[in-house]
A = this chain, B = another copy of it.
Amino acid sequence: MITNKSLSARYQSIRQLSTELCRPLTPEDHVVQPVIDVSPPKWHLGHTTWFFETFVLSHFEGYRLFNDDYGYLFNSYYETVGKRVLRVNRGLMTRPTVNEVMDYREYVDRHMEVFVTSGELSDELLPVIELGLQHEQQHQELLVYDIKYILGHNPLFPVYQTSGVSDRDNEPAALNFLPVGEGVYSIGYNGEDFHFDNEEGVHKVFLHDFAIANRLVTNGEYLEFINNGGYTDFRHWLSEGWDFAKSLETKAPHYWHQVDGIWHHYTLGGFKPVDPNLPVAHISYFEADAYARWKGFRLPTEFEWEVACNQYEPGTQTTANFVDHRRFQPTMETRQHQFMGNLWQWTSSSYQAYPYFKTAEGAIGEYNGKFMVNQMVLRGGSYATSSNHIRPTYRNFFHPQLRWSCNGIRLAKHI
């Protein structure tokens, strides 16, 4: 039961994480957009704030916009604005400054605070506020990716957070395969709590017998693929994947660099040698697929993943490596099985509508459905995900060539 008090606490807690994530950054770090997929941190801070101003506060009489221009600066769906003379380019937007955006956040939070603390929590506004908070959590995950990209492509390799994570002397759990029996299973979100439209359409799927790996593939295991010539033998690759592999300047995961024959990589804890015991990250779907084929396995479908997770690890694992712990790196998986957290796991399922999927009316209807082509589903969340944002039914999706996100590999096989 949502009360003003609980809502206020939740609102504050989520909102403050965005600014906390940006605290190690300089004003300069907030501005740039190195590639189209990476947004400036400043833009995330403004855009998530704009959501609450536009969809909540502006419905209240007497509320004055913080700045009339921010509407089109921070509207991600913006395409053309009739009376405006310039197209907005996120990565060139040096103004408003970071300080001005922080003022914007404070202004909006002050007004939201009044409302969530004492306002009437109507059935109309509550879902919008909830969507705004979930939306902010999604952008927090992107913030981590984007911050890593900006710092990790700076030749000075700045440290984001000094980290004590080190598992070099330990061993990860042995790799084994968890069996699941054939049958008709139910897929999709079936409950009362918040969830996205793309999880809806509870439906049945038939699964044949299969088994799924108990943990993610490690850097050490992936290095065998590299050292075995994995990137230079076309037989392991999808045809488009092979073009991708040939186009890579460095035949290795993103952020990897060979220094004096030793593989290093940029992490949010700085530039350091690759730890063979940690899960491999920042690989494309093409690489995940090629690795699995080379190894004699395959990737799981998203349905297999969901069913196995429900069977072996029901419920969200708050002890998993989520952003709650502020580790900002994958950690070694020593538990016997671990589905949630650490890294999003590429599945072999392309991102498409569930049966009975319905697009919602209005702007909110644009949320997920329109991306349902040419993308692959990932499951499980990552060290950049909030534990109270994720579920086993949660469907993330990326184009198969993308590597800046926190993703890894879980293997599967027929049995």
A27-B28, A89-B34, A94-B31 given; A239·B203 CB < 8 A: no
A374 contacts B356, CB within 8 Å? no
Closest to A34 in B: B92
Give the docked Cα–Cα distance between A350 and B298 (Å): 17
A86 contacts B238, CB within 8 Å? no
Interface segment out of the listed A46-54, A152-160, A219-227, A383-391: A152-160
Q: Which of B28, B97, B356, B374 contacts A400 (CB under 8 A)?
A: B374
Residues of B within 8 A of A259 (CB): 85
A95 contacts B154, CB within 8 Å? yes
Whether, in the assembled complex, A96 has its beta carbon less than 8 Å from a beta carbon of chain B, the answer is: yes
Of residues 241 through 256 on chain A, the ones whose CB sits less than 8 Å from some CB of chain B are 241-242
A206-B206, A348-B352 given; A240·B155 CB < 8 A: no
Q: Which of B72, B154, B203, B372 contacts A155 (CB under 8 A)?
A: B72
Give the docked Cα–Cα distance between A29 and B95 (Å): 8
B156 contacts A371, CB within 8 Å? no
Whether, in the assembled complex, A98 has its beta carbon less than 8 Å from a beta carbon of chain B, the answer is: yes
A248 nearest CB across to chain B (Å): 14
Residues of B within 8 A of A184 (CB): 184, 206
A356 contacts B414, CB within 8 Å? yes
A77 nearest CB across to chain B (Å): 10
B155 contacts A32, CB within 8 Å? no
Whether, in the assembled complex, A353 has its beta carbon less than 8 Å from a beta carbon of chain B, the answer is: yes
Residues of B within 8 A of A206 (CB): 184, 204-206
A96 contacts B31, CB within 8 Å? no
Whether, in the assembled complex, A91 has its beta carbon less than 8 Å from a beta carbon of chain B, the answer is: yes
B-contact bits for A85-110, CB 8 A (1 contact / 0 none): 11011011111111000000000000
B28 contacts A31, CB within 8 Å? yes
B86 contacts A153, CB within 8 Å? yes
Binding site for B on A (CB under 8 A): 26-32, 34, 42, 69, 72-73, 84-86, 88-89, 91-98, 150-151, 153-156, 158, 184, 203-206, 208, 235, 237-242, 257-259, 264, 285-286, 289, 298, 348-350, 352-353, 355-356, 365, 370-374, 376, 400, 414
27 contacts between A and B (CB under 8 A): A28-B95, A28-B97, A31-B32, A31-B94, A32-B32, A32-B94, A34-B89, A73-B155, A73-B156, A85-B258, A86-B155, A88-B155, A89-B153, A184-B184, A203-B208, A204-B208, A206-B206, A235-B365, A238-B370, A238-B371, A238-B372, A289-B373, A298-B353, A348-B352, A349-B352, A350-B350, A374-B400
Would you list the 3 A-B pairs with minimal beta carbon distance, nearest first?
Answer: A350-B350, A85-B257, A206-B206
